Chain A
Amino acid sequence: MTLLTLHAVRLLGFADTDAVAARFSQDPGLVESTLIDAGRTGLVTRSTFAGASGWLLSSAGRAENERLLAQELDQYRARSLVLEVHDDFGEFNDGVVSACGSLQLGVPKNPEATDVLIGALAAWRPLEARLARTLPRFEGYSDRLLRALKESARDSSWLTGTDRDSFHRVWFEIHEDLIATLGIQRAQS
């Protein structure tokens, strides 16, 4: 309960109780109790930005999140698996971020950049499947990426927007999930 709740806050960055609960399909009431308890011990804080209120992981909460994730990796003997997937992800991460940049800076409809994103989804799908066989919490990213691509056909905001579950937002979250799970620092991106 605590692992998935803290990890949901980590992945979402800043989110209210319902969104935190929905991230891993947890009961909202139990998640709220967990968050209130975590707030008492300084693992999360309740904040307001630009009129929106939500939960934010503190430095102590981030450390506790990584401690629980390390326990999970040991329990399922999954460290080498996640390391391999992280390395494979890194091989096409730059291409995705570059394509997202091209889409922002160039013409809205950029077939070559869109092809890169379609290719990235195809490359990510088997990696997600490998992870999810051992760590089911990694399920769902491919479906969200596919939805973003489909929606982008009518509204290009679904490629890089920050106000929706856009392709870049989901991709950013995968990256955060992998580095959080491994307890490593974000390097250049």
Chain B
Amino acid sequence: MAMVLVGTAASAGSYRGVARLVAGPDEFRLFRSGDVLVCRTTDPAWTPLFGMASAVVTETGGMLSHAAIVAREYGIPAVLGVHDALELVPDGEIVTVDGAAGTVTLAGTQ
């Protein structure tokens, strides 16, 4: 049975790719273009990663968050406010982010 995490559908679109867990700016160097960004929250320092990411998943925030605005500007799917995403999504896991449905599906469970 697939594990499906649910959050706020903040920016439409769907993408299947490698989840990269990023705890803070000290780990930005580990992020690769095309990765799915999974993090707790974002601030202006994270904006360049949005330009490299294919999708964004955050633990905090929602429709009324700056991350939602920035994700839409970059035209990438975003699911925000996914509780414990950093605990539940293994780093390197293949995930499908559906920014319209507000779901993150872990491939290992599909």
**CB proximity to A under 8 Å, residues B5-45:** 24-26, 28-29, 33, 41, 43-45
Closest to B65 in A: A189
Contacts of B47 in A (CB 8 A): 13-14, 162
Known: A162-B73, A188-B62. A101 touches B25 (CB 8 A): no
Q: How far is the CB of B37 from the nearest CB of chain A, in Å? A: 12
Q: Contact: B66 with A172, CB < 8 Å?
A: yes
User: Does residue A100 face the partner (Cβ distance < 8 Å to B)?
Assistant: yes
Q: Chain B: how many interface residues by the 8 Å CB criterion?
A: 31
Which segment of B48-56, B90-98, B102-110 sits at the interface?
A: B48-56
Q: How far is the CB of B29 from the nearest CB of chain A, in Å? A: 7
Interface centre among B25, B49, B62, B67 (most CB of A within 10 A): B25
Q: A104 is contacted by which of B50, B51, B52, B69 (Cβ under 8 Å)?
A: B69
User: Does residue A59 face the partner (Cβ distance < 8 Å to B)?
Assistant: yes
Q: Contact: B64 with A52, CB < 8 Å?
A: no
Closest to A11 in B: B44
User: Does residue A76 face the partner (Cβ distance < 8 Å to B)?
Assistant: no
Closest to B50 in A: A162
**CB proximity to B under 8 Å, residues A1-36:** 10-14
Q: B66 is contacted by which of A12, A50, A59, A97 (Cβ under 8 Å)?
A: A97
Q: How far is the CB of A60 from the nearest CB of chain B, in Å? A: 8
Contacts of A64 in B (CB 8 A): none
Q: B26 is contacted by which of A11, A58, A100, A185 (Cβ under 8 Å)?
A: A58
Known: A10-B45, A49-B52. A101 touches B61 (CB 8 A): no
Known: A56-B45, A162-B74, A172-B44. A101 touches B51 (CB 8 A): no
A104 and B12 alpha carbons, distance in the complex (Å):
12
Q: How far is the CB of A157 from the nearest CB of chain B, in Å? A: 9
Q: How far is the CB of B51 from the nearest CB of chain A, in Å? A: 5
The interface of chain A, by Cβ under 8 A from chain B, is: 10-14, 45, 47, 49-50, 52, 56-59, 62, 94, 97-98, 100-101, 104-105, 160-162, 168, 172-173, 175-176, 185-189
Top 10 A-B pairs ranked by shortest CB distance? A13-B44, A49-B48, A13-B45, A189-B65, A97-B64, A104-B72, A172-B66, A162-B73, A14-B48, A94-B64
The interface of chain B, by Cβ under 8 A from chain A, is: 24-26, 28-29, 33, 41, 43-52, 60-70, 72-74
* Sample of 14 more A-B contacts, CB < 8 Å, known A98-B63, A101-B64: A12-B44, A13-B43, A13-B44, A49-B28, A50-B33, A56-B45, A94-B64, A98-B64, A105-B72, A161-B73, A168-B66, A173-B44, A186-B60, A189-B61
Residue contacts A-B, CB under 8 angstroms, 20 given: A13-B43, A13-B44, A13-B46, A47-B28, A49-B48, A49-B51, A50-B33, A58-B26, A97-B64, A101-B64, A104-B73, A105-B72, A162-B74, A168-B66, A168-B69, A172-B44, A173-B44, A186-B41, A189-B61, A189-B65
